């Protein structure tokens, strides 16, 4: 990576900010454009981006996403924005002679009832869970495009399938956040206000696998350096937790001691998620380093210092 010109789309965001730090520490010359400067849904803007920076490596981490509520409310926008960004950035990477393209995909691309643990070869064996299908399918088309470009043009593109991420710098929006930041915000506020109960979506039975964001960024950089095949690669921790257990853990870490109620009328999402992470270990030596409870402690601490205190002042 030393002295390489690396373009990180989404580099100012949650995952991207950790990627930028690791790459810079390795001596790379990193460019992380802002969406206000370059709209990745527009071909002329993406052309301008490549002309301006002339990258040797592209890590495409930019995406429009959110929790179940956001997915339900914005299926058209999720599909259009993501498929346009993915298609244009990958096409321009080819046209401008980029040495390597790293596509950041998602566990949401897997079929709803994939056998657990999810293996990469099962990716095409069914339709994704309905609430996140537009997002997952748009990401899956990036994999198809990458493989097609390797077959026809010999273009070096790889595709990584990431599980749900969490950690410091995440978005803790009341309506649009993913499950962990949403629960931290809810439990922290309830503890501060001394509420006697909170209500959570679903029935708590669904399971999820979570990966600490710094570990995810490390995995992406390792794959960028060491992996050059067309097959997708799962990136995760290899363990799952029921949402009910997750809520109780976050309640304990935030100091909430009240009752937890479940809104059974709201969707659970995909019933189970846990990846087979064998390929990542074998191909480029990645194994997650941060356990869930330790990662949650760090995330709660960051939230209390950077978000929770500002909310309390209002």
Task: Kindly write down the DSSP assignment for every residue of 144-177, as one continuous string.
Answer: HHHHHHHHHH---EEEEEE-EEE-TT----TTT-
CB atoms within 10 A of CB 65: 19
Quick one: DSSP state of residue 308?
Answer: I
- 230: tokens are 């067309």
Expressed in percent and rounded to 5, the helix, strand and coil fractions of the chain are 50, 15, 35
Task: Please report which helix (H) or strand (E) contains residue 58, including its range.
Answer: strand 57-60
Separation CA 43–CA 148 (nearest Å): 20
Question: Token pair of 293, please?
Answer: 């409870």
Residues involved in catalysis: 135
Strands 207-208, 241-242: pairing is: antiparallel
Residue for token digits 């087979």? 276
């Amino acid at each position: 990576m030393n002295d390489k010109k690396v373009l990180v789309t989404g580099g100012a965001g949650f995952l991207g900010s950790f990627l930028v730090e690791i790459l810079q520490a390795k001596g790379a010359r990193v460019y992380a454009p802002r969406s206000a400067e370059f709209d990745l849904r527009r071909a002329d803007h993406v052309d301008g981006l490549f002309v301006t920076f002339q990258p040797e490596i592209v890590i495409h981490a930019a995406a429009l996403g959110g929790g179940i509520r956001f997915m339900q409310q914005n299926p058209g926008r999720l599909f259009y924005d993501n498929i346009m960004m993915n298609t244009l950035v990958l096409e321009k990477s080819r046209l401008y002679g980029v040495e390597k393209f790293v596509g950041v995909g998602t566990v949401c691309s897997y079929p709803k009832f994939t056998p657990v643990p999810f293996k990469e070869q099962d990716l095409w064996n069914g339709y994704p869970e309905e609430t996140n299908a537009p997002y997952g399918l748009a990401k899956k088309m990036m994999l198809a495009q990458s493989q097609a470009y390797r077959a026809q043009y010999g273009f070096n593109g790889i595709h990584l399938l990431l599980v749900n991420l969490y950690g410091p710098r995440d978005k803790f929006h009341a309506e649009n956040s993913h499950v962990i930041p949403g629960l931290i915000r809810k439990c922290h506020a309830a503890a501060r206000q001394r509420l006697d109960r909170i209500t959570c979506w679903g029935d708590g039975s669904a399971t999820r696998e979570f990966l600490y964001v710094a570990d995810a960024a490390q995995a992406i950089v390792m794959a960028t350096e060491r992996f050059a095949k067309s097959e997708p690669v799962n990136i995760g921790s290899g363990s799952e937790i029921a949402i009910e257990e997750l809520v109780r853990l976050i309640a304990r870490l935030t100091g909430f001691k009240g009752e937890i109620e479940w809104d059974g009328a709201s969707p659970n999402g995909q019933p189970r998620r846990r990846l087979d992470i064998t390929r990542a270990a074998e191909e480029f030596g990645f194994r997650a380093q941060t356990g869930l409870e330790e990662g949650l402690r760090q995330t709660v601490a960051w939230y209390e210092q950077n978000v929770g205190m500002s909310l309390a002042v209002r």
